[in-house]
Amino acid sequence: MLQSSPSTAPAPARRWQPGGSRNLVLARVGDKSLHATWLKPAHTARDWDLHLSYYGSRLGPVPRSGRGLSWSNDPERSKFYGISVALERAGIDLDAYDYIALPDDDLVATVADWNLGFQLMRKHDLGAAQLSLNPFSFFGHLDTVHRPGLELRYVSLIELMAPIIRVDVFKRCLPYLRDHDNIWAMDHVLAAQLRDTPRAMAVLDAVSVLHTRSFWTGPLYAPIRAAGTDPHSVERRYLEAHGIERVERRTLGALTRGGRSVQAPWWDDIYLAGPRLWRKLRALRRVKSLADSCGGRIFLRRQYPGTPALELDRRRQRGGPFGLQNLTRRADDPR
Q: Taking each helix axis from N to C terminus, what angle separates 186-193 and 231-242, rounded to the nearest 10 degrees?
A: 40
Contacts of 268 (CB under 8 A, 6+ apart): 147
pLDDT of 322: 40
DSSP code string of 254-280: EEETT--EESS-TTHHHHTHHHHHHHH
Distance (Å, whole) CA 179 – CA 223: 14
User: How do 99-101 and 69-73 pair as beta strands?
Assistant: unpaired
Span 32-61, pLDDT tens digits: 999 999 999 989 999 999 999 999 988 888
Cα distances from 219 to residues 78, 213, 215, 249, in angstroms, run: 9, 11, 11, 27
Classify residue 34 by burial, with Cβ atoms within 10 Å: 0-12, 13-18, 19+.
buried
151 or 75: which leads in pLDDT: 151
- Does the global pTM surpass 0.75? yes
Select the highest-mean-pLDDT range: 8-17, 44-53, 295-304.
44-53
Please report the sign of the dihedral spanned by the C-alpha atoms of residue 30, residue 141, residue 143, residue 238.
Answer: negative
pLDDT at 313 over 50: no
pLDDT at 278 over 60: yes
Cis peptide leading into 219, omega within 30 of 0?
no
pLDDT of 330: 36
Distance (Å, whole) CA 17 – CA 27: 16
317 or 320: which leads in pLDDT: 317
pLDDT of 127: 99
Span 210-223, pLDDT tens digits: 999 997 666 666 67
pLDDT of 155: 98
Determine the Cα angle at 36 with ends 31 and 41, to 5°.
Answer: 170
pLDDT of 33: 93
Read off the pLDDT of each residue in 127-137 and give the average, rounded to a whole number. 98
Distance (Å, whole) CA 281 – CA 36: 28
Cα distances from 233 to residues 116, 218, 284, in angstroms, run: 35, 18, 26
324 or 118: which leads in pLDDT: 118
pLDDT of 10: 56
Please report the sign of the dihedral spanned by the C-alpha atoms of residue 237, residue 242, residue 189, residue 252.
Answer: positive
Torsion of CA 134, 136, 139, 144, to 10 degrees: 30
Q: What are phi and psi of 96, to 5 degrees?
A: -80, -5
Q: 291, 316 in Cβ contact below 8 A?
A: no
pLDDT of 11: 64
Read off the pLDDT of each residue in 3-9 and give the average, rounded to a whole number. 41
Task: Please give the span between the terminal C-alpha atoms of the chain, in angstroms, as a whole number.
Answer: 53
Least confident of 48-57, 177-186, 194-203: 177-186
291 or 157: which leads in pLDDT: 157
Read off the pLDDT of each residue in 299-316 and give the average, rounded to a whole number. 67
- State the pLDDT confidence band at 318, using cuts at 50, 70 and 90: very low
Q: 93, 18 in Cβ contact below 8 A?
A: yes
Domain 23-216+225-326 has CATH 3.30.2010: no
pLDDT at 128 over 80: yes
Whole-number percent of the chain with pLDDT over 90: 63
pLDDT of 219: 63
Read off the pLDDT of each residue in 72-80 and give the average, rounded to a whole number. 88
pLDDT of 16: 81
Q: 173, 186 in Cβ contact below 8 A?
A: yes
225 or 57: which leads in pLDDT: 57
In the chain the beta strands, taken as DSSP E runs, fall at 23-29, 49-54, 69-73, 99-101, 107-108, 128-133, 150-155, 163-166, 201-211, 251-256, 261-262, 291-294, 297-300, 325-326
Determine the Cα angle at 41 with ends 39 and 47, to 5°.
Answer: 55
pLDDT of 60: 87
Q: Which helix (H) or strand (E) holds 112?
A: helix 111-123
Average pLDDT, rounded, for the chain: 86
3-state secondary structure of 75: coil
Distance (Å, whole) CA 117 – CA 120: 5
Whole-number percent of the chain with pLDDT over 70: 85
Distance (Å, whole) CA 54 – CA 300: 22
Least confident of 134-138, 175-179, 287-291, 323-327: 323-327
Q: What are phi and psi of 30, to 5 degrees?
A: -110, -165
